Amino acid sequence: IDIKTLRSATNGVITIDPGYKNTGSCESAITFLDGEKGVLRYRGYAIEDLAEKASFLEVAYLLIFGELPAESQLEKFYTDIKAESIVDEEMKKILDGFPKSAHPMGVLSSLTSALIAFNPSAVNVDSEEDMYRAIVKLLAKFPVLVAWTLRKKNGQPLDYGDSSLSYVENILKMMFKKPQEEYKVSKVVTEALNKLLILHADHEQNCSTSTVRIVGSSHAGLFASISAGISALWGPLHGGANQAVIEMLEGIKEDGGDTKKYMAKAKDKEDPFRLMGFGHRVYKNFDPRAKIIKKSADEVLGDLGIQDPVLDIAKGLEKEALEDDYFVKRKLYPNVDFYSGIIYRALGIPTEMFTVMFALGRLPGWIAQWREMRLRKEPIGRPRQIYIGENLREFKDISNR
């Protein structure tokens, strides 16, 4: 049955599905996910292969345009991106206006929205060429905004990148270069970040991606749609979980490391506490990204010579959960964010920046989904409701209420 027939067949019938647990919002050729088997593929390529063998920029190209790029295609793509990496100097004044204590996700979504004012040509995208230009601009400027957000938090002067570096090396340099010091690119750190960004790059119709598609469906423009996606990602039930996980693990450590006590809290229905980083709307088996990240956490901490006691607490919680009836019955396994924060910490990224790093990784997926939605000329997203409020009431003047 095609979508048009389906639409006319259901005319007048409204399905109530809070949280859209069983409602498809679109057809998509970008990401395949089998939650029962723990399978994730971008454009048909296994996440395990991409995380091991590809660069983040190659994966961005793959997600957005549908094919892995040939060398010349990737080179042109990166050259086009580098040509757009300057962010208007006036944007620095906006950044200056934020208090140092501002949450980086709020700063990032505001700066992304503000980019529209300085790049008005990126709003009306009537052709594929217009789309390409808007996409390249965003892939160029977004890492600069991420780096500025971190440098603001750290009270460091802003810095631009170095076009001789790869996309990911350049991000690291923009984030971490100290004034008057040369920045040395570390292979371990670059590879770890490359992998994390790839693992976060897309995940079909999650909360933030659906937000990007629905905002974009009103033709609000790419930057506005992405800014909305950043806000959706911020929440602790979605991307904000990576920050919440580390805060939870730290809390458990400070409380004496008694994981059993927290397992009991997570199972107690009267207690709002949840085991952050556990459970997933779609994965009812191990999240394949969590497997890769857990291994990577061990490697990165080993290579950098870091011993982090919260990694032991995390492993302890995982072991207990895998043997616990409550978690087994509900098919609750560690998700992508259970171990990612431990790596971000090892790379020197402050806890409040974790969700920003997630946004950086998710950017190509959001862009790919927005582009697909526009190219398929999808209608404006506009869910229905069942009204359960009052019937017609007589208006009473304020003095008579």
Question: Which residues of the shown chain bind ligand ACO in the complex (CB under 6 A)?
Answer: 19, 237-239, 241, 266, 274-281, 330, 332, 335-337
Least Cα distance to 108 among 366, 353, 368 occurs for: 353
Measured distance CA(111)–CA(121) in Å, rounded: 17
Q: Which of 103, 159, 280, 287 is catalytic?
A: 280
CB of 61 to ligand ACO, least distance (A): 23
CB of 387 to ligand ACO, least distance (A): 24
**Closer Cβ to ligand ACO, 151 or 213, answer by number:** 213
Measured distance CA(219)–CA(373) in Å, rounded: 10
Measured distance CA(258)–CA(275) in Å, rounded: 14
**Closer Cβ to ligand ACO, 122 or 293, answer by number:** 293
Round the CA-based radius of gyration of the chain to a whole number and report it: 22
Q: Which residue is nearest to ligand ACO (CB)?
A: 279
CB of 266 to ligand ACO, least distance (A): 4
End-to-end CA distance of the chain: 54
CB of 358 to ligand ACO, least distance (A): 7
Please count the other Cβ atoms lying within 10 Å of the Cβ belonging to residue 73. Answer: 14
**Closer Cβ to ligand ACO, 148 or 338, answer by number:** 338
Least Cα distance to 370 among 241, 192, 218 occurs for: 218
Which regions of 19-132 does DSSP assign to beta strands (E)?
Answer: 31-34, 39-42, 45-46
**Closer Cβ to ligand ACO, 69 or 236, answer by number:** 236
Pairing of strands 45-46, 31-34: unpaired
3-state helix, strand, coil in the chain (%, to 5): 60, 5, 40
Catalytic residue at 303?
Answer: no
**Closer Cβ to ligand ACO, 176 or 262, answer by number:** 262
Q: Which of 159, 202, 287, 337 is catalytic?
A: 337
Catalytic residue at 200?
Answer: no
CB of 209 to ligand ACO, least distance (A): 10
Measured distance CA(219)–CA(337) in Å, rounded: 32
Known catalytic residues are: 280, 337
